[in-house]
Structure 1
Amino acid sequence: MDDTMSLHTSKTGLTSFFKKFSSEERYRATAVAVNKVRFSSPKERGLAESVRVALEEGNFHLLKEFTNFLRQAELNSEVCNALKDDDFLVIVKDAKKIVYSLTPDFVHVIECLLSLNWKQRNSEIIQVYTEFYIDIMVTHNRYLPMGISKLIVHWIPDDLDESDWLNGCPSESTRLVLKPIHEVLNRILTAVPMAFDLVIDAISAKFPYFKKPAHVTAGYLFNVLWIIEYKPMFEELILQLVLQKLVVLDVNAPRDEIGSESDDEDDKMKAAPLFQKDDLSADSLAPTANTVKHPVGKTLDISLLMLYRFFDSKCRIHQNSNDQQRWTANRLFKMLLHIFDEVLLPSHNTHHVQFVLFYVTSIRFAYSESFLDLLWKKVQNPNISAIIRHTAVGYMASFLSRARFLPLRIVIYYLKELSKWAHNYIDDSGEYNQNCSLKAHLVFYSVCQAVFYLIAFRARDLTANSKGLLFLQSLQLSRLAMCHLNPLRYCLAPVATAFAGFTRTYQLAYCHTVLERNARRKLATVYGHDKCMPEETLESFFPFDPYLLKLSNKYIKANYMEYQCNDKDDYMDSSIDEHLSRKRAASEILEEDDFILADKRQNHLELSKCQQLDK
C-alpha cells in the first residue's frame, strides 16, 4: 500500500498527507498559500490598494480589474445586487480619502464611480457619495463635463416609468429620489462657477428626442424648470432652450393631424349649438387620458401645461405681493418677450407654442401693451426683413382679434394705426406705380389683410354703437380697398369675402366689383394637360387660431375669443342673387369658429375659384 501511494503521488505531483514537513518548509508553504488567496475578487482588493499599486509601481492591472468590476456592477443587475450597501459605502469612502490622487490618469475608474446608481441607496450612502462627488468636481476640473452630464442623465425618466409621472408632476417617491441630485448640482454650481456653461450644454444635449413618450420629455422638463428655483441665473438660457425644443414638438404636431381626432366627435354634435360654451371644469382638469391622441401633440400638450403653471406662479402678482415679487415678475416677462423676438417670431409653421405669450400677456394688461408695442415697432421698421414684418402683422391681427382680455379701445387704437400706415404707404407709392407684385409690397398687403381680418372678426364690437360706425368711416376703407395697389387681390379669399360683405352692409365700401375682377385674374391657365395656378396670395399666418390641445386649454379658453357672426351682416343673407354663390361660401366659412382654419384654407381658395368660374 505504501508503494502504491508513493507511486501515485509521484505521478500526480500531489503531496501525500503521510509525508512529514520540516518547520521551515511548512512556513514557506503557508506563506505561498496565503498570498494566493488573500484577495478573492477585485472588490476585496479595494480601490485604494489598486490606485496605490498604480501610482507606486506603475502597474494598472489591479485598477483595470476593479474598473471592470464596477462597470459590470452597473450593467448587470445580478452583479449590481451583489454590491451591497456596505460594499458600496467602503468603495465610496476609499474614493473620498484618495480624491487628490485621482488625477486624469484615472479617468476610467472615475467614470465608473460617477455612473453608479446611488440615488436609491440609504441616506448615509447618499451623504458620503454626495461629498465625494463634490470633492472630485472641485479638486479636478477635468471631470466637470463628465460629472455634470452623469447627474443630468438621472433627470430622464425611464420609458416604463409613466405611472410615476402625472401631467409632468412626479410622485412623492420620485421627487425624493431626484432631490439629492439637484442638491449635488446646486453645490457644484456654487463651488465652481465655471460649470455654468457646462450645465447649459449638458441640458441641451440630454434633452429627449421629440418622439420619446410624453412622460419622458415632461419629466425631463420638470427637472429643467426645477433648476431655476435654486439657480435663477439660468432663467433666460433655460427658457430659451425650452421654447426651442417646444417649437420642434409643435412643428411635428400639425393642426390638421390633431384636429382630425375630433372629427367623429364633431359629427355626433352637429345638432348642438355652433357656439356653445365649453366646460372647463371637467375635461380640462382630467389626467392625461383626456389629452390628444397624437403622440407628439400629447407631449406638447403636457409640456405647455407645465410651462403655463410655471409662468402663472412667477408672473401673477397678487395684492399682497411685495416689491421683490413684482420686480421678479416684470423681469421674467421682459425676458420672455426677448425670447419671443429671438426664437418664436422667426419660427415658421408653429401652432401652439406661441400661446405661452398669449397666456402670460393675459395676466397683466401692461404685458399686453408691451407685446403689441414690440410687434408694431417691428412692422414699422424698414430695416427689418419683410418676412419678419409680415409675421409681426399676423401676430398683431390674431392677438387683437382673439384676446378677450384686451379692452376695445386698444383694438380701435391699433386698427387706426394700421390703417394710417397703409394710407401713408399708398400716398408714398405713387398713383402711377404699376409694380403691384406681392414681393414688392409684402408688408403693405399684410397690413391691409390685417385690417380687413380685424374688422371682419370684431364687427360686432365695432358696430355696437354709432360712435363705432363713425370710427370705421374715418378709416377710409373704400380708398384702402380700391387703391391702385389692389390689396384685395392678394388677401385670402375668406378674409376678402367677409370684409366685402361687412363694408357693403354698413355702406363703408363696395368691394364686390373688385373681388370679381380679381377672381378672373386668378383663374387657372390651362396648357394641354398642364394647369398653371397664379401664386399671388398672401401666405396666411394667424398664430392664435383656435387652440386644439385639450389638457392645457384650461389656461387659454377663459381669455380666448371665438369668432361670432354679426347678425346684421346681409352678406349672410342669400336673398341677393347677384352675390349668391359668394355669400354661400362666406356662410360656410363663418359658421366655423375660425373662418380661415389652417387645414381648410386651401379648400376655401379652391371653392372661391370654382364658384367664380361657374358664374
Structure 2
Amino acid sequence: METKSTFEAVLCKFKKGSRKDYDGFICKLANPSISDGVLVKYLKSMKDCATLLDKDHEMLIGVLLKLDWMNRSSGVVQIYQSTILNIVSVHTVYLKACLRALVKNFMPVIKPVENKESTESLVTDDMMAAHNQGFIHVHTLIKTIMKIVPMSSQLIMPMLIENFPYYIKDVYIQECFMKNLLQITYYKTDLRQSILELLIEKIIKFDTQAPRTALLEMTSQDNSQESGIFNMEGDVDPVVESSEKLDVLMVHLFEYIQAVCYKNGELEWEDTKRFYRETLYVFEKVILPTYACCHIQFIMFYLVSFKMQLCDGFLDYLWKLVQNPNVQSVYRQSAVSYMASLLARAKFINIRTVMRCVELMMTWCHTYTNTCQDCVMADVVHHGPFYSVCQSIFYVFAFRQKEIFETKAGLKWAQSLQIQHLIQSRLNPLKICLPLIVKTFASITRQHQLAFCDHIIQQNNRSFLPVDSKGYQKFETYFPFDPYLLKKSMKYIEPHYREYDQSLPVDDDSSGEEDDDEMFTEDTRCSAPVDMETMSSSLVDKTDLMSYGTSPGFKHIF
C-alpha cells in the first residue's frame, strides 16, 4: 500500500507541474541494470495506479513497453503482464502501441559480432530456447488482451503487416516471425486466413527471387563442385540466399498444415475442410495470379493429398474457372495448367479420375471447335484458353499413358475421345502447343493408332505462326507442379510425387530444338508403380465428374 501511495503522490505532483520525482521514476524504470526485485515494485505501483495513467503519461507507457521483460524471472513476467492488462483495459488509447510493441518482440534482437557474416551463425541452442520461452510469454499476453479487449483482433493484423521483417533479414529472424504469426492462429482462428495470406505473399517474394532456371543451374554447379570441376568463391549468391530462406519457411508451412489437419496421427476432417476453404481463398487471391512461381503452390498439392475428396474439390474449382467465360483468359489458362500438372504429377490421383478429367476437357474442346467453325487460322490471342486445355490434354496423356493403356478399357476409351477430329480442326492446336509436348503426344497416338499427327506437324513446320499486334509468336505456359527443387522441404512432397517415365520412345524425326525442355527431361527416375483400377463401362458417360454433387464420395462435403 505504501508503494502505491508513493507512486500516487508522484503522479499528483506531476499533475501539478512538478516533474522531478516523475522523471526520476522513469529513469530508474528505463535503467537496463534494474534488478528484478526493484522492477517488480515499480511495475506493481503502476498496476495499482493504472486508472491514473491516462494519455498525459505516454512517455512512461513508452518506457514500459520497451522494457526487456520476457526473459526475466517469473515474478517480473507475471507482474508485467498484469500491469499491461490493467492499463489497456482502462485506457484503450494505449492498445495500438501495446500490440505494436508485443509484435516487435516476435523478432529476437541479436547483437552483431565483428567478422561474422550473419546473425544466424551467432544463435546458439540456449539462445533459441530463451527466445522460444519469451515468445510464449508474449503470446500469453496477446491472447489475454484479445479476450479482454475484443477490438484488438482488428488492430493486430495491421501491426503484423507493418512489422514483417524485410526480405534481406536473416533466415532465423524470418522463421521466428513466421512461427509466431502461425502461433496466433491457434488461439485466434478467425485471423488464420488473413495471416496465411500475409505469409504466402511474403514467401512468394523469395520464390520469385529463386526462379527454376537459376536453381537448376545452381544444382549443376554444385555437382561440378563435388567433382572438382567448378569452384565458386566470393559473396553468397542472392539466388542461393533466397532459396535457402524459402526452403526453411516452406518446412514450417508444411509442418503447420500437418499440425492443423492431423491430431494424434488421425485426420481431423472438419478442421481440414475449414482449413482447405481458407487456403483455397488465398490460393485464388495470391498464388494463382502469380506467374511462374515454383514452390509456394505446393501447399495445395500437399493439402489435397490428405484425402481424395479435397483433391476432387480442387479439381472441380479449377475446372469451373476454366469453363467460366467471365474469368480473365490468363486465369483460365493458369487454372487448366494447375489442373493438368496435378493430374500428371500426383500419385494419389488414380487413373480413373485422370481419364474422367481428360474426357471432360476433350468434350469441352470439341464443343469449342464446333462453335468456331468460321475460324480460318490458329489464333493465340482470341483462343488462349482453348489451346491451354488442348496442351493440358496432351501433357496428361504423356504422363499417364502407360496406366491408361494398361486398364481393361483404356484403348477403347482413348478411341472414343476422337483425337483426330480435334487435331484436324481449323484452330490447329498442334501448331500452337509447345513442340516437345506435341512431339511426345504424336508418338503416343501413332503407337496406338489413335491419331496421325505427323503430317499436320510437318505442314505446321513449313508455315509461320501468325503474330498478334504485340508481336507475340510463341504460346507461353508453364506447369506449376514441375519438380520440387528445395532440399529440406522436399520430404513433404516426394512421397506423393510422380516423376516422368522416360521409357516411352519418342521419334527424332522432327527438329531437336526442344530437347532441353525441362518439362519432361529433368526427371531422372521413373515413377513408382501405381495400383491400377479396372475401368467400367460407365466410365464414358458424360456426367460432370468435377461437380460437387457427382464427384465420387464428394456429396454434401462442403
Q: Do the aligned residues in 1 keep the contact of 2:343 with 2:349 (CA within 8 Å)? A: yes
Q: Check the 8 A contact 1:297/1:549 in 2, yes or no.
A: yes
What does residue 593 of structure 1 align with?
523
Query: Equivalent residue for 1:345?
Result: 288
Greater helix proportion: 1
State the one-letter code of the partner of 1:542.
F
Partner of 2:338: 395
Residue aligning to 1:58: 17
Give the ranges of 4+ consecutive aligned residues of structure 1 lying more than 6 Å apart after TM superposition.
Answer: 317-321, 586-589
Measure, in 2, the Cα distance between the counterparts of 1:376 and 1:523.
Answer: 28
Change (3 A) 1:307 1:591: closer
Give the structure 1 partner of residue 246 of structure 2.
Answer: 300
After superposition, residues 372-391 of structure 1 pair within 5 angstroms as 372-391=315-334
Q: Which letter does structure 1 place at the counterpart of 2:419?
A: L
Q: CA deviation at 1:263?
A: 0.3
1:108-131 Cα deviation digits (max 9, x unpaired) = 221111111111111111111110
Larger mean CA deviation between 232-241 and 219-228 belongs to 232-241
Q: Aligned pair in 2 of structure 1 residues 422, 551: CA closer, same or farther (>3 Å)?
A: same
1:610 matched residue in structure 2: none
Normalised by the length of structure 1, the TM-score is 0.76
User: Which residue number corresponds to residue 368 of structure 1?
Assistant: 311
Alpha-carbon offset, residue 542 of structure 1: 0.6
Deviation of residue 378 (structure 1)?
0.7
CA RMSD after TM alignment: 3.1
Cα distance between partner residues in 1 of 2:312 and 2:511: 41
Query: Which piece of structure 1 moves more, 236-245 or 192-201?
Result: 236-245
Task: Tell me, in whole angstroms, the C-alpha distance in 1 between the residues paired with 2:520 and 2:250.
Answer: 29
For normalisation by structure 2, the TM-score amounts to 0.83
Q: Name whichever of 148-157 and 244-253 sits farther off.
A: 244-253
Structure 2 distance, partners of 1:486, 1:524, is 12
The structural deviation recorded for 1:362 is 0.7
For 1:220, the equivalent position in structure 2 comes to: 177
Choose from 477, 501, 509 the match for 2:443: 501
- Aligned partner of 2:523: which letter? D
Counterpart contact for 2:365–2:386, Cα < 8 Å:
yes
- The aligned residue for residue 425 of structure 2 is 483
**Judging changes above 3 Å, is the alpha-carbon distance between structure 1 residues 157 and 516 closer, same or farther for their aligned structure 2 residues?**
farther
- In the TM superposition, 1:516-595 aligns within 5 A as 516-522=458-464, 535-567=472-504, 569=505, 571-572=506-507, 579=509, 581-582=511-512, 585=515, 590-593=520-523
The answer on whether the counterparts of 1:452 and 1:499 sit within 8 Å (CA) in structure 2 is yes
Report the Cα distance in structure 1 between the residues aligned to 2:123 and 2:194, rounded to whole angstroms.
28
Q: Which of 208, 228, 239 is 1:251 aligned to?
A: 208
| Letter in structure 2 aligned against 1:52 | C
Match of 1:142 in 2: 93
Partner Cα distance (1:485, 1:164) in 2 = 61
> % of aligned pairs identical?
29
Q: Give yes or no for the alignment of 1:459 onto 2:459.
A: no
Amino acid at match of 1:496: V
Q: Which amino acid aligns with 2:458?
A: E
Contact 2:318 2:336 in 1 (8 A): yes
CA 1:374/1:547 → structure 2, altered by over 3 Å: closer, same or farther? Answer: same
One-letter amino acid of the counterpart of residue 443, structure 1: P
Residue pairs, 1:255-334, within 5 angstroms: 255-266=212-223, 294-316=240-262, 325-334=268-277
Output aligned runs, 1:24-63, within 5 Å: 48-55=8-15, 57-60=16-19, 63=22
Q: Residue type of the partner of 1:310?
A: Y
Is the CA contact (8 Å cut-off) linking 1:438 and 1:490 kept in structure 2? yes
Q: How far apart, CA to CA, are the structure 2 residues paired with 1:300 and 1:555?
A: 14
8 A Cα contact 1:214 1:296, kept in partner = no
Pick from 389, 413, 422: which aligns with 1:471? 413
Once residues 537 and 436 of structure 1 are traced to their aligned partners in structure 2, the CA distance between those partners, rounded to angstroms, is: 12
Q: Deviations over 1:517-552 (max 9, x none)?
A: 323334899xxxxxx996232211211011000000
1:510 matched residue in structure 2: 452
Q: Give the Cα separation in 1 of the matches to 2:70 and 2:120.
A: 16
Shift of 1:349: 2.5
For residue 216 of structure 1, give the secondary structure of its aligned residue in structure 2. helix
1:235 Cα deviation from its structure 2 partner: 1.8
Which residue is 1:428 aligned to?
Answer: 371
Partners of 2:71 and 2:41 lie apart in 1 by 17
* Larger Rg belongs to: 1
Equivalent residue, structure 1, for 2:388: 446
Structure-2 residue corresponding to 1:18: none
Specify whether residues 319 and 105 from structure 1 end up closer, same or farther in structure 2 by C-alpha distance, changes over 3 A only: closer
Q: Residues 347-370 of structure 1, C-alpha deviation per residue, up to 9 Å, x if partnerless?
A: 222110000000011111111111
1:158–1:296: structure 2 CA closer, same or farther, 3 Å change rule? farther
SS at match of 1:541: coil
Q: Output the CA distance in 1 between the equivalents of 2:304 and 2:421.
A: 34
Out of 408, 412, 419, the position equivalent to 2:362 is: 419
Q: Hey, what does 1:359 align to over in structure 2?
A: 302
CA contact (8 A) 2:108 2:131 kept: no
Which whole-Å deviations, capped at 9, do the CAs of 1:309-348 have from their partners, x for residues lacking one?
Answer: 1111222377866xxx432222112221222122211222
Report the 3-state secondary structure (helix = DSSP H, G, I; strand = E; otherwise coil) of the residue aligned with 1:411: helix
Other-structure match for 1:23: none
The change in CA–CA distance for 1:309 and 1:64 in structure 2 (over 3 A counts) is: same
Q: CA deviation at 1:584?
A: 8.9
Q: What residue ranges of structure 1 are gaps of 5+ in the alignment?
A: 1-45, 74-79, 271-291, 526-531, 596-615
CA spacing shift, 1:145–1:589, aligned 2, 3 Å: closer
